[in-house]
Amino acid sequence: MTLFQFEQDFADSLRCIPMTLRLKLDLCGIKLKLHQWAKFSLEERRKCVDWPPESPQDLEELRNHLRHLVRSICHEEVQEIPIDPQPEWQNPNQIPMAVQQKAQDLGIRLALDFWRNLHDIQRFALLKLSRSHHENKNFLPALREFGVNYPAPTAKRYVAGFQ
């Protein structure tokens, strides 16, 4: 099980849903609520986090597994969400506006080269962490983990130096 450094505060208990699973949830069209996740055993949580997303069949099996877990453990129906055929994080050639804005709010201007050099899961994480409805405390730690040297509060930082 691989988690980001900014997720280490819940690595042992998996009390929060890690980005690796959140990505799989988006790819299989499931919205798993935190209260549902909390009812799963630690073993079930680990199984979901480690689920291989290598094929559409793997994702369909995860979808069915989560439906079963939510029904049997939570006595609820799982909420299904539309699967985005072209999610913003998959485009290495354009930094999503939400990510740009959140970085700018911190005094950071992200260069396209920085975005292009990220792995899909890193771009996904930054996009999720930049959303206004999300608790954004991990956005800056994620940027740091992915290579941004955060400046003093009054300075502007140009990542990869070309902005």
Count of C-beta atoms within a 10 Å radius of residue 139? 22
Q: What's the average model confidence in pLDDT over 51-57?
A: 90
Question: Domain segments of the chain: what residues?
Answer: 5-80, 88-161
pLDDT of 61 higher than 60: yes
Higher-pLDDT residue of 162 and 148 is 148
Residue 138 DSSP SS3: helix
pLDDT of residue 11: 86
What would the pLDDT profile of 72-104 be if each residue is shown by its tens digit? Answer: 999 999 999 999 999 999 999 999 999 999 999
- pTM exceeding the 0.85 threshold for the entire prediction: yes
Which H or E run contains 30?
A: strand 30-31
Cα(53)–Cα(57) distance, rounded to whole angstroms? 9
Which percentage of the chain shows pLDDT scores above 70? 88
Model confidence over 107-150: pLDDT tens digits?
A: 999 999 999 999 999 999 999 999 866 566 899 999 999 999 76
Which residues lie across from 157 on neighbouring strands? 108
Mean per-residue pLDDT over the chain, rounded: 90
